[in-house]
A = this chain, B = another copy of it.
Amino acid sequence: MERRQPPQTEEGWYVLHDFRSIDWDAWRNAPERRRERAIEEGREYLSTAESVADADEGDSATFAVLGHKADLLVLHLRPTLGDIDALERRFEHTALAEFTERADSYLSVTEVSGYMSQEYFEEGETADTGIANYIESRLKPEIPDTDFLSFYPMSKRRGPDHNWYELPFDERADYLSNHGEIGKDYAGRVTQIISGSVGLDDYEWGITLFGDDPTDVKELLYEMRFDPSSSRFAEFGRFLSARRMSPADLSAFLAG
Which residues on B sit within 8 Å (CB–CB) of A14?
214
Interface range for A: 35 or more
Q: Residue A40 at the B interface, CB < 8 A?
A: no
Which residues from chain B contact A29 at a C-beta distance below 8 Å? Answer: 98
| Contact bitstring A230-243, B, C-beta under 8 A = 1, else 0 | 11101000110101
**Least distance between A55 CB and chain B CB atoms (Å):** 16
Against B, the Cβ 8 Å flags (1 = close, 0 = not) of A72-89 are 000000000110110011
> Which of B159, B198, B209, B226 touches A3 (beta carbons < 8 Å)?
B226
Q: Are B196 and A218 in touch, CB under 8 angstroms? A: yes
User: So how many copies of this chain end up in the complex?
Assistant: 5
Evaluate contact between B198 and A218: CB separation under 8 angstroms.
yes
Given A29-B98, A68-B102, A204-B225, list of 16 further CB < 8 A pairs?
A: A1-B232, A4-B231, A6-B223, A24-B97, A25-B98, A81-B147, A81-B241, A81-B243, A158-B225, A158-B230, A159-B160, A197-B218, A198-B222, A199-B221, A199-B222, A201-B241
Binding site for B on A (CB under 8 A): 1, 3-6, 9, 11, 14, 16, 18-19, 22, 24-25, 27-29, 64, 66-69, 81-82, 84-85, 88-90, 92-93, 97-98, 102-107, 109, 147-148, 150, 152, 158-163, 165-166, 178, 196-202, 204, 209, 214-215, 217-223, 225-228, 230-232, 234, 238-239, 241, 243, 253, 255-256
